[in-house]
Amino acid sequence: MLRWRRKIRYMAYIIIDILTILCALLLFKSLFRGSAVSLDELSSLEFIGLWSLVSTIYVTLFYLTSLYENIIEAEGKFTGRILMKTAACSVLAILLIHISTAAFKAPITYKCVVLLVSLILILQTLSRAVLKYIEFGKSEAIQTRNILVIGASDVGRRYVAEIQKHSYLNLNIIGYVKILDSDVYDDLKDLGTLEHLDQITSTQVVDELAVVKPLSFDPRIKGKLNQCQCTGITITMVLELQNTDLTKADVAMVGKIPVLKFHLVSLNEGQLFLKRLLDVSGALVGMLLFGFAFLIFAPLIKLESPGPVIFRQERVGKNGRVFTMWKFRSMVNDAESHKDELMESNEMNGHIFKIENDPRVTRVGAFLRKSSIDELPQFFNVLRGDMSLVGTRPPTVDEYRAYESSQRCRLSITPGLTGIWQISGRSDIKDFEEIVKMDIEYISNWSLLLDLHVILKTFGVVLSGRGSS
């Protein structure tokens, strides 16, 4: 787990640096076109060769000086060591690029190399700030993985020490639960006993349970873990194996401690990185669409009904995290205050509210909903990390509080802007339990290809207007 998280961060910085160097070369070529330091004489093939050369020099220098590791451990902050190493690498890069281009007799002057490296340095600083913002979400609550320790033991103390040593990887132990014995952790918060586990997981954000006692220590442990697994919480067995037909298992290393993880979600750290990369790419495109839509529809929304253009509402995300979701306002300004009056007209069975001809919807709002334009502001939620492009739809806080334990598993992943329910004709589905089954099927069978399939099919649904409301 720790190695994967560190490796993903490492790869992310390398990829961003290579792309930043490409942007710097393109910008340099544009800014200095026709000047004495231009790259005009380079052919397309030579330009690609220069990009490869500069990227190789930078990545090699940063690797040899352990600069990437220093940046990761500093959580993206600019420390004195990082600044000194960056300056030293930049000077060496100037010398190596100049020597290499001279050896190949490339038409690039020393002054050109100095200006190019300076531009790369500026863009690298900006790109790393952006990467820290969007890599795993802006909000610390979103990007941090909360771990609750079950029991206390010597191996548990070593496990806790490893997690705390790598806290910069956004792993947070919120406390521990005692089992029968009085053994304790001096540096962890005592959250209660095993009897309180249901209450703890329902009132706090818990992503993972780390069990440091064998199942045979207390016969109640297995039953409690089965209940938590049904909600989508990952189970990490530090001491003893657990057999189950409901969840997937994989072996991970926490420092030098082997652990066995059981979880409903099939995404490992590498898959999570790919999914996040897809989310950020899609969200950047979506924000452009949102910008155009805002210019057109903001005045129309204001003209028809007083109130804000953007509607904000608290929704529940991954494992119970509460976040603010944005939409174009499609209802009258005081729509929420009239919701209770319309509950008898709810067309859905279960913990979800929906009326086909909702009287609170404005004329502009009806068009926005029919075309799904009202959801364009949610691309900002995706960019922040509150939501994903594809996932399960986030419920309201009231709906989530009414969930049964087995229904909370639909929030074991980051909620999505679209999903299986949306492309299956959501207006025709009236039973919430059917939605839960669809969500669990998506979670159990996730793949990057499945996300791409859902995104492509969503375009068809939006263009046809089928299933919208």
Integer CA distances (angstroms), 169 to 1, 140, 269, 405, in order: 10, 11, 12, 29
Contact 153, 46 (CB under 8 A): no
Q: Which domain covers residue 395, as residue numbers?
A: 270-464
Residues 255 and 156 in one domain: yes
User: In angstroms, rounded to a whole number, what is the distance separating the alpha carbons of residues 290 and 48?
Assistant: 34
| pLDDT score at 469 | 47
Last residue of a domain, one of 264, 290, 310: 264
For the chain, how many structural domains are there in total? 3
| pLDDT score at 107 | 82
Residues 118 and 243 in one domain: no
| pLDDT score at 1 | 61
Residues 235 and 331 in one domain: no
User: In angstroms, rounded to a whole number, what is the distance separating the alpha carbons of residues 166 and 172?
Assistant: 9
Residue 469 falls within a domain, yes or no?
A: no
pLDDT digits (tens, 9 = 90+) for 290-341: 999 999 999 999 999 888 999 999 999 988 899 999 999 999 887 777 777 7
Kindly give the parts of the chain with pLDDT less than 50. 136-142, 240-246, 469
Q: What CATH number should be reported for the domain holding residue 176?
A: 3.40.50.720
Considering the entire predicted model, what is its pTM? 0.65
| pLDDT score at 132 | 67
Last residue of a domain, one of 115, 134, 153: 134
Provide Rg for the chain, Cα atoms.
Answer: 26
Residues 457 and 351 in one domain: yes
pLDDT digits (tens, 9 = 90+) for 8-25: 778 888 888 999 999 999
Residues 291 and 205 in one domain: no
Residues 83 and 183 in one domain: no
| pLDDT score at 423 | 83
Residue 221 falls within a domain, yes or no?
A: yes
pLDDT digits (tens, 9 = 90+) for 339-363: 777 777 776 676 777 777 778 889 9
Residue 159 falls within a domain, yes or no?
A: yes
| pLDDT score at 292 | 93
| pLDDT score at 34 | 80
Last residue of a domain, one of 232, 264, 296: 264
Residues 162 and 197 in one domain: yes
Short-list 258, 254, 252, CA closest to 161: 254
Residues 305 and 444 in one domain: yes
